[in-house]
Amino acid sequence: MATLLVACAAVAADEEDTATTRALARELAEQGDPSGAAVEYRRLALREQHPLRRGGWRWMAAWEYWHAGRLEQAEALLDRVEAEAPTWMTPTLLLRAEIARSERKPAEAAFYFDSFAAATEAADARAYARRAAIAARLEGRDAAGARAALADWPDAPTSVAEAVENYVAGRDKNPQIGGWLGLVPGLGYAYANEYANAARSLILNGLFLYGMHETAQDEQWGAFAVIAFFEFTWYSGSVYGGLDASHRYNRRRADDAAATVRGGAAWRPDESALPTLSLLFTF
Amino acid sequence: MGRLLRPVRRAVGISLLVAGGASAESLDLAQELLADADWPAARREAMRAAIALARPESERARAMAAIAWIRGSYSPEESAAALAELQRLAETAERPDVRGSAALEVGHHLLRQGCPDEAWPWLARAFRAGVSDETTLAAGAELLWLGRMNPSRWRRDPDLRLQIASLRVPLWNMPLVARERRGPPLSARPGLWFTRFYRRQIRPAIGNRCQLRPTCSEYFVQAARRYGWRAIPLLADRLVREPSVVQAAEHPLYEQDRVVYPDPVEAHSFWWAGSP
């Protein structure tokens, strides 16, 4: 009898420990330490015997790692969730899509969002996934793909359709033109509307060219060589910057359009249901 | 009296079992976190296990904590303290696997610090511990490479040379040796020497003021290792852009007492290097 009582006490202590760890994980996440929260969820997973519940905790750890920007760790945990608890395949697809998006792999993200939309039965989850898949295609500058996905979604909100059309109507900067303009220090940056960078590039190149001119006139060839080396660096930076600034502009334009498509749509796991995974969507 | 005390003894037994479970769980978690290179969290978990476990089991946890500590250390003081702990474990631990892995880590650390002669005896100790294929091969690969760089090292220990020679074929397959043999591109080396000079001689005087992550010198090192001479225009572009990136203040990261902004190399080379 005494043994039974002690065993019950031990089980109760274990449950209390689990509740404490769970509360700690939640608090750490709320206080902006998602990595710390992920470690606590991993602790819960190691403590758990049932594969489904263990998968739920591991998925939560992956979710927190995604928030912390530790994408490799998040992906490794999702691999384990898939292997141990295939029941959680649908929420895993969604988290994989978000991770792919954070990794700037828009084609992969669109694939996972599409897969999630096909796998889920909830209308709000499907609406979110369709919206996110269009946004991912825009991030990949795949305007045709975004239009096709929009055509497959008859009751798409008008704001989404407008954002796609505005993106298609806009114009990208041509990186080759940016590179050629970069031969004139600063002009490549100016072409991509980066006027402060253009001014800095112009001033730096101007100063070093002046230094080269002065040292050459005074026949100080040692100083000339040093200044020429640094001027070569700044000048090559101007050309490279011209190319890169155009790419940055194009990427920013695509990202802004994608952000408009996503709007305020968001999702999160229902923490009260854990370790059962239930997702809540807001628009 | 004995019968009266029996339930109490059992209760102590069960609580020890629970504690054992919790510490084993911390040890497993520490191992996972070490594999993930999450050094601070791995160290904390390993220390938690070390406190709960008794010797010689706690030694394994202490070695894991020290490995995580040395790999995640930022200051020379921290690194020296972690090194001392590892050296102590390599010399005095009861378990041979702990002695071997601690010695290997000491050797790796000294190599990273650019002290191959100091690393040699620790690597030899790890190799001789012979407790696992992994430790033996890793230590042997390092020793083989160091011996190639400076053959006079073998003179101190001719037996070791014979032992390593018997493992030569698997050793050359070690990725570590392959990486060491490759090294950074030739066109990147002058820039990397200059960066090393800047980090050792200039940065300590002016302080680490860069508000971007990776810092400008680290950005150059990463770019040079990947793209060789093309790191030069990448760095010049970064230096011109730096004030604008700070002003835009996108995706701030909180690092100790300051705010920094991410600006990785891949974000400026994706259009030709194929990375995201």
Q: Which residues touch A40 (CB under 8 Å, ≥6 apart)?
A: A21, A22, A24, A25, A28
Copy the structure tokens of residue A136.
Answer: 């991912």
ipTM score here? 0.74
Q: Is the pTM of this model over 0.90?
A: no
On the 0-12 / 13-18 / 19+ scale of CB atoms within 10 A, B1 is exposed
Nearest to B29 among A46, A204, A234 (CB): A46
For tokens 């609406």, name the residue.
Answer: A127
Copy the structure tokens of residue B182.
Answer: 């490759």
Name the closest residue on chain B to residue A74, using Cα atoms. B36
Do A133 and A110 form a contact (C-beta atoms < 8 A)?
yes
Q: At what angle do helices B133-149 and B158-165 cross, to 10 degrees?
A: 120
Nearest to B236 among A14, A36, A233 (CB): A233
- Predicted pLDDT at A15: 67
User: How close B13 gets to chain A, by Cα (Å)?
Assistant: 10
- Helix locations, A48-105, DSSP H: 51-68, 71-84, 89-102
Render each residue's pLDDT in chain B as its tens digit; 276 residues.
334 333 333 333 333 333 445 667 778 888 889 888 888 889 988 888 888 877 777 888 899 999 999 888 777 788 888 899 999 999 988 888 888 889 999 998 888 888 888 888 898 888 888 766 778 888 888 888 888 778 888 887 778 888 877 776 565 556 555 555 556 777 778 888 888 888 888 888 887 788 898 899 999 998 988 888 889 999 999 999 998 888 888 888 877 778 888 899 988 988 887 654
Residue numbers in A near B27 (CB within 8 A) = none
Residue numbers in B near A42 (CB within 8 A) = 29, 32-33
Which bin fits B207, alpha (ψ -120 to 50), beta or left (φ > 0)? Answer: left
Q: With an 8 Å Cβ cutoff, are B240 and A200 in contact?
A: yes
- Predicted pLDDT at B1: 36
Copy the structure tokens of residue B85.
Answer: 């702990």
DSSP one-letter string for A188-217: HHHHTT-HHHHHHHHHHHHHHHHHHHHHHH
Render each residue's pLDDT in chain A as its tens digit; 283 residues.
555 555 555 555 566 678 888 899 888 888 888 988 999 999 999 888 888 999 999 999 999 999 988 899 999 999 999 998 888 999 999 999 999 999 889 999 999 999 999 998 888 999 999 999 999 999 988 888 898 888 888 888 888 888 999 998 889 999 999 999 999 999 999 999 999 999 999 999 999 999 999 999 999 999 999 999 999 999 999 999 999 999 999 999 999 999 999 888 889 999 888 888 888 898 8
Q: With an 8 Å Cβ cutoff, are A43 and B270 in contact?
A: no
User: How close A193 gets to chain B, by Cα (Å)?
Assistant: 12
Residue numbers in B near A47 (CB within 8 A) = 21, 25
Count of H helices and E strands in chain B? 15, 3
Q: What are phi and psi of B159, to 5 degrees?
A: -60, -40
User: How close A64 gets to chain B, by Cα (Å)?
Assistant: 14
- Predicted pLDDT at B229: 87
Q: What are phi and psi of B111, to 5 degrees?
A: -65, -45
Q: CA separation (Å) from B34 to A4, A69, A73, A115, B53?
A: 39, 18, 12, 33, 19
Q: What is the four-CA torsion angle of A140, A145, A149, A151, rounded to 10 degrees? A: 140
Judged by a CB distance cut-off of 8 A, whether residue B45 touches chain A is yes
Do A108 and A142 form a contact (C-beta atoms < 8 A)?
no
Name the closest residue on chain B to residue A231, using Cα atoms. B236
Copy the structure tokens of residue A78.
Answer: 């999702």
Q: CA separation (Å) from B17 to B3, B10, B14, B20, B26?
A: 22, 10, 5, 5, 14
Residue A269 pairs with which residues in a beta bridge?
A: A279
In B9-38, the residues whose Cβ lies within 8 Å of chain A are 10-11, 14-15, 17-18, 21-22, 25-26, 28-29, 32-33, 36, 38
- Predicted pLDDT at B19: 41
Name the closest residue on chain A to residue B262, using Cα atoms. A69
Q: Which residues touch B113 (CB under 8 Å, ≥6 apart)?
A: none
- Predicted pLDDT at B171: 58
Do B63 and B93 form a contact (C-beta atoms < 8 A)?
yes
Q: What are phi and psi of B211, to 5 degrees?
A: -100, 5
Closest CA to A134 of A109, A166, A98: A109
Name the closest residue on chain B to residue A249, using Cα atoms. B268
Q: With an 8 Å Cβ cutoff, are A196 and B235 in contact?
A: no
Residue numbers in B near A140 (CB within 8 A) = none
- Predicted pLDDT at A121: 87
Q: At what angle do helices A89-102 and A106-119 cross, to 10 degrees?
A: 160
* Greatest Cα pair distance in chain B: 84
Judged by a CB distance cut-off of 8 A, whether residue B195 touches chain A is no
DSSP one-letter string for B217-256: HHHHHHHHHHHGGGHHHHHHHHHHHHHHHHHHT-S-EEET
Q: With an 8 Å Cβ cutoff, are A237 and B240 in contact?
A: yes
Q: With an 8 Å Cβ cutoff, are B240 and A46 in contact?
A: no
